[in-house]
Structures are given as C-alpha cells and as structure tokens.
Amino acid sequence: MAKGGFPRGGMMGGGMMRQQAQMQQKIMKMQKELEKAQKEVEETIFTASVGGGTVKASCNGKKELTELVISPEALNPEDVEMLQDMVLSAANEALRQAEDAMNKAVDGASGGLNLGAFGL
C-alpha cells in the first residue's frame, strides 16, 4: 500500500481522475446545450399587442425591438399620452416574453442547476 493509506491507482488515483473527466464531459455537454438553447431564443421573435391590437411591438430574444406597428386609429393628436403608454406597454410585454423564454431555456439546458454561482 502506498503512503497515505490508499492503494496505488485506487480512489485517489484513477477513480478520482475518471470522475473528474466524466464531470468535465457533462459540463461541456451542458454548455453546448445551453449555447444552443440561447441561440434559439435569440432568434425567436416575441410579439405583444395592446389596445385591442392598436399597438403591436416585436422584439427578438436578444431584447432588441424589431418592429413597432401603430394602427392609424391610435393617432389622435389630442391623446398622445395614451399612445405613448400603449407603445411602452407593448414593448415591455414583448421584452418580458423574451426574458421569460431565455430563463426557461437556460433552466432547461442546465437541468435547473443554479449557474449564478459560476458567474453564468
């Protein structure tokens, strides 16, 4: 028996290294799945409308506004504030949808593992 009480190539040798290699493979697989899920969400378009479809905003998963449609009926010069509120509401809802989708994708790819501890 080698010094330290463990046989040569035993738990401290081959077994531990094998476990570490398996863990690294799992982490690499999870990282690839996470990147794939993030890319899918980033390429998805999220749309929200308010005022019965009067204002529609779309954004991608990168949280970039990609489209804003305002119905001509919403163009009332005497009620600009309401139009502004509807634009903000539609844009914020589309952005919330993108955020929720990204969170679900990350949770799914990570198996629910809290990646915040790793700075991810």
Residue 61 inside a domain? The answer is: yes
Residue 118 inside a domain? The answer is: no
Residue 27 inside a domain? The answer is: no
For residue 63, give its domain range. 41-107
pLDDT digits (tens, 9 = 90+) for 74-97: 888 899 999 999 999 999 999 999
pLDDT at 36 over 60: yes
Which residues contact residue 115 at a Cβ distance below 8 angstroms, ignoring those fewer than 6 apart?
Answer: 106
pLDDT digits (tens, 9 = 90+) for 38-80: 999 999 999 999 999 999 999 999 999 999 999 998 888 899 9
Residue with tokens 């463990």: 6
Number of domains in the chain: 1
What is the dihedral angle through the alpha carbons of 105, 109, 115, 116, rounded to the nearest 10 degrees? Answer: 0
Per-residue pLDDT at 93: 97
Residue 88 inside a domain? The answer is: yes
Residue 103 inside a domain? The answer is: yes
Q: Is 60 helix (H, G, I), strand (E, B) or coil?
A: strand
Q: How far is CA 17 from CA 26, 30, 99, 115, in A?
A: 14, 20, 39, 24
Q: Please report, for the domain that includes residue 95, its CATH number.
A: 3.30.1310.10
Which residues contact residue 68 at a Cβ distance below 8 angstroms, ignoring those fewer than 6 apart?
Answer: 55, 56, 57, 58, 87, 90, 91
Please state, in angstroms and rounded to a whole number, the distance separating the CA atoms of residues 9 and 28: 26
Please give the model's pTM, rounded to 2 decimal places.
0.71
What mean pLDDT value characterizes the chain?
86
**Selected residue with higher pLDDT from 13 and 3:** 13
Per-residue pLDDT at 81: 93
